[in-house]
Homo-oligomer: A and B are copies of this chain.
Amino acid sequence: MDERRTDTREAIRSVALELFAEQGYDKTSLREISERLGVTKAAVYYHFKTKEEILLSLIEDFLAQVDDVVDWAQSQPATAAIRHEVLRRYSDLLGGRTTQLARFMQEGQAAIRDLAAGTEMRKRIDRLVGILATPGQPLPTQLRARVALMALHVGAFAGRDIDATDEQRRHAALQLAQEIVGPAS
């Protein structure tokens, strides 16, 4: 019943995610976060040592899920079917809880670039790319891996002007991404 304990910390994360997604990391000030929460800035600093730590704490959730996908893939044979399944799982990720997060990571890369969070994110995406196309493979294959992921991103949050539900868009994007990395046969 007494769930107050972690209430504020979670509330901060929640509000921060909302604002980061809305306006970007840079443009979101701690004043904004704390005001929308009805607490003081100092209260936020009680729960997180720095602004970046909020971001990190947010990102880690998503990154852990990406790691899961990659880890699973590495325990499987490197077949086309597995690659398709990787895309499907990553697509699911983008549609889940972390949608907003993923979006603002995509859109606000510049703002995050130098932060630890940015480095970490790039590392994980690289791992993911590495599953779809190992470093030794030819240029077109490399490119296809990256573009396939981009396709999923477009489906998840860059194509909202298209007249379709989120579901439909994500599904269509998955199809396309799978086609891009090559036939499953």
List A residues at the B interface (Cβ < 8 Å): 23-27, 104, 107-111, 113, 126, 135, 139-140, 142-144, 146-147, 150-151, 154-155, 158-159, 161-164, 168-169, 172-173, 175-176, 180
Contacts and interface: CB of A to CB of B under 8 A. Distances in A.
A162 B140 contact: no
Contact of A169 (B25, B108, B143): B143
Copies in the complex: 4
The 5 closest A-B pairs by CB, nearest first: A24-B110, A108-B110, A147-B151, A107-B110, A107-B109
A172 B159 contact: no
A182 B176 CA distance: 12
A135 B23 CA distance: 28
A87 B143 CA distance: 16
A142 B109 CA distance: 25
A26 B111 contact: yes
